[in-house]
Amino acid sequence: MSKERIKISEDLYDIMPSDYQDLVKSATYGKEDRGWKDIGTSKELIEQHSLCAGCPESMAFRYILASLPNPEDTVMVGSTGCTSLVFPMVAVHNIHSLFGNQNAIASGLKRALSVRFPDRTKDVVVLAGDGATVDIGLDMTLQAWFRQEKFTTICFDNELYANTGGQESGLMQKGFVAKMAPVGKLFDKVRLPEIARESGCHYVVQCTVSKPSVIEKVIRNAVFVAREIGPTYLQLYTPCILEIGKNSMEGLQEMRDSEKPTERFAYKEYVSEPAKQLLAEIAAKDKERKAAAKQLAGQA
Amino acid sequence: MSDYRVLPGPEHFLPPAAASMGIRLPNPGEAHINGVIVSEEKAYEEAAKQFLMAKVPTLFPGPLVLWAWNENAAKKATAIRHLYNTLKECVQPGQKPMLIPMPDYRPKYPKINPEVEINPNHPNLTIWHNKIDCCMFIGVHCHQANLSLKIIRGGTSCYTIAMCAQAGHEDAMLSFRDASVEKIMKLADWVRKLKGTVQPRLTSAKSGASN
């Protein structure tokens, strides 16, 4: 797991577009403690996107891609929605599934990768919107959890169908009036984090993407737990600023307002006992490694 | 045998897959020109002629040779560079050989830079922009090559050559199969051999553009 497998042929190096040369020279593939702090100093695995200016989803993408512990051996599965506009610009293997099928595709993919590469750690991460995860794809989402499939499901929750003009979704809050849902939502927001816990997910977090350090922590935890134990689920609030009537620069404040302890996106975390044990072991190893590195730096 | 011939376009908006028109792939040791099975030797000669006739003969190396994922890929890259250098030496003033990479297959919306790369999902943009009238695909995975070759045949008048490492491509106007370092070098030898014997179509109205 390193950059060794990502080398440009020497005789054709000069004709490669600079984006690819930069990926080889300064991206963080293979770096053990890669994280959000690499943003701005290393080549990012997403450099441009076609989302709206100021879209919190683009922040979420950057933090997630910077935090994946094993990007060169990760396959992401996307679904229809705003995220599908971004995946073509991402330097991580990815598959676009049919709307709602993402967890079924990921199940097969994870199993196939385990058979094809038994000696290599391969992570599968689903990233889809709330329509794909909770409405159209709920069957596939739940069945994957029931079967204890070992991959991470990330839901970008913007509380409606954003790129089709603002229709009501299961994760929309009660009473909200959207452009294409003029009556207002009549029932409560689906409590998917609780459903995920009851369905067998070993690590479940609901939060906003206002804090990159939090995103880094939960992404790494979710991937590690999925790798060793079973399904994990992250529900990240990425408000659609256009559909809730905000300006480009107001996305961050919207997330901060929504994550207060009494609000609907207050940080929520469920960790199963085996996952707690695993995360404690990983934390201890990390601590040991950092102490050793510090000692080595001191000697130098 | 089918009467259909795989010729430079623009054929129309959705050109048929040549396979559906009865064009079959060559057997080992063979190639095809316009859908007609020929000996490999004849294909080398014709490919070299097409390169030397073209105003902008271009090589499109794909991910299988751009990335040094094994030793043979790196060797093929060296051979491709040799072929490109040979083309540069053998063309006449006014002809402009190009070497443009297809680094991966991402659709790369909203745009690509057609001066520095070609994308299989809209290869016509690079061909139109650079007025490419003869190109060769090499190191492109077959399914992406088929897609691109059809788009090129549909929307441009560019002559397409496939140096395929597998069984060849019906949708190219000329296709080799079982591409190897030796075959690329041999094509370079043919280009050198025909140097000065082929009249370039510098004044021809036919260009890579679709109009």
Identify the CATH number of the domain in which residue A261 sits. 3.40.50.970
* Residue A119 within any structural domain of the chain: yes
Sign of CA pseudo-dihedral A6, A23, A35, A76: negative
Over residues B180-198, the pLDDT tens digits come to 999 999 999 999 999 999 9
| Other residues' Cβ atoms within 10 Å of the Cβ of residue A92 | 19
Contacts of A85 in chain B (CB under 8 A): 109
| Other residues' Cβ atoms within 10 Å of the Cβ of residue A124 | 28
Q: How far is A12 from chain B (nearest CA, A)?
A: 6
Identity of the residue numbered A293: A
Q: Does B77 touch chain A (CB under 8 A)?
A: yes
d(CA A4, CA A156): 33
> Among A247, A226, A240, which Cα is nearest to A130's?
A240
Residue B209 has pLDDT above 50, yes or no: no
* Residue A290 within any structural domain of the chain: no
What three-state secondary structure class fits A12? helix
Q: Which residues of chain B form beta strands (DSSP E)?
A: 30-33, 36-39, 57-61, 98-99, 134-138, 159-163, 174-176
Strand B159-163 relative to strand A152-157: parallel, antiparallel, unpaired? unpaired
Which pair of structure tokens corresponds to residue A219?
Answer: 């992404």
Say what the pLDDT of residue A48 is.
81
In chain A, the residue whose alpha carbon lies closest to the alpha carbon of B103 is: A16
Radius of gyration (C-alpha) of chain B in whole angstroms:
16
Over residues B22-80, the pLDDT tens digits come to 999 999 999 999 999 999 999 999 999 999 999 999 999 999 999 999 999 999 999 99
* Residue A11 within any structural domain of the chain: no
Q: Does B117 touch chain A (CB under 8 A)?
A: yes
* Residue A12 within any structural domain of the chain: no
Give the A:B interface size as CB pairs under 8 Å.
58
- The half-sphere exposure of B44 on its side-chain side, counting CA atoms within 13 A, is 20
Q: Does B106 touch chain A (CB under 8 A)?
A: yes
Q: How far is A271 from chain B (nearest CA, A)?
A: 37
Top residue of A15, A49, A76, A83 to mutate, by most chain B CBs within 10 Å, is: A15
Which pair of structure tokens corresponds to residue B66?
Answer: 């751009």
For residues A128 and A81, the answer to whether their CB atoms sit within 8 Å is yes
**Cβ distance of B101 and A15 shorter than 8 Å:** yes
Over residues B161-171, the pLDDT tens digits come to 999 999 999 99
Strand B134-138 relative to strand B57-61: parallel, antiparallel, unpaired? parallel
Per-residue pLDDT for chain A (300 aa), expressed as one digit of tens each? 456 777 999 999 999 999 899 999 999 998 888 999 999 999 999 978 889 999 999 999 999 999 999 999 999 999 999 998 899 889 999 999 999 999 999 999 999 999 999 999 999 999 999 999 999 999 999 999 999 999 999 999 999 999 899 999 999 999 999 999 999 999 999 999 999 999 999 999 999 999 999 999 999 999 999 999 999 999 999 999 999 999 999 999 999 999 999 999 999 999 999 999 999 999 999 999 989 988 988 887
* Residue A165 within any structural domain of the chain: yes
Write b or e for each residue in A159-178: b if 16 or more Cβ atoms lie within 10 A of its Cβ, otherwise e: bbbbbeebbbbbbbeeebeb
For residues A220 and A74, the answer to whether their CB atoms sit within 8 Å is no
Burial class (CB in 10 A: 0-12, 13-18, 19+), B147: middle
| Other residues' Cβ atoms within 10 Å of the Cβ of residue A190 | 17
* Residue A297 within any structural domain of the chain: no
Q: How far is B187 from chain A (nearest CA, A)?
A: 18
pTM of the shown model = 0.87
* Residue A53 within any structural domain of the chain: yes
Nearest to B108 among A8, A12, A88 (CB): A88
Contacts of A17 in chain B (CB under 8 A): 101, 103, 113, 116-117
Say what the pLDDT of residue A212 is.
97
**Cβ distance of B113 and A17 shorter than 8 Å:** yes
Domains and CATH numbers, chain B: 30-193 (3.40.50)
Q: Does B109 touch chain A (CB under 8 A)?
A: yes
d(CA B161, CA B159): 7
Q: If interface means Cβ-Cβ distance under 8 Å, which residues of chain A face chain B?
A: 5-12, 15-17, 20, 50, 85, 88-89
Strand A167-168 relative to strand B36-39: parallel, antiparallel, unpaired? unpaired
For helices B181-193 and B40-53, what crossing angle results, to 10°?
A: 60
Is residue B10 reached through a cis peptide bond, with omega within 30 degrees of 0 on the bond before it?
yes
For helices B71-90 and B181-193, what crossing angle results, to 10°?
A: 10
Say what the pLDDT of residue B110 is.
66
d(CA A4, CA A6): 5
Identity of the residue numbered A61: F
Say what the pLDDT of residue A54 is.
92
* Residue A102 within any structural domain of the chain: yes
**Domain containing A168: what range?**
32-274
Identity of the residue numbered B172: A
Q: Torsion angle of alpha carbons B178, B50, B191, B86, nearest 10°? A: -90
Number of domains in chain A: 1
Contacts of B77 in chain A (CB under 8 A): 9-12
In chain B, the residue whose alpha carbon lies closest to the alpha carbon of A92 is: B106
For A117-155, where are the alpha helices, taking DSSP H only? Answer: 130, 138-146
d(CA A73, CA A221): 17
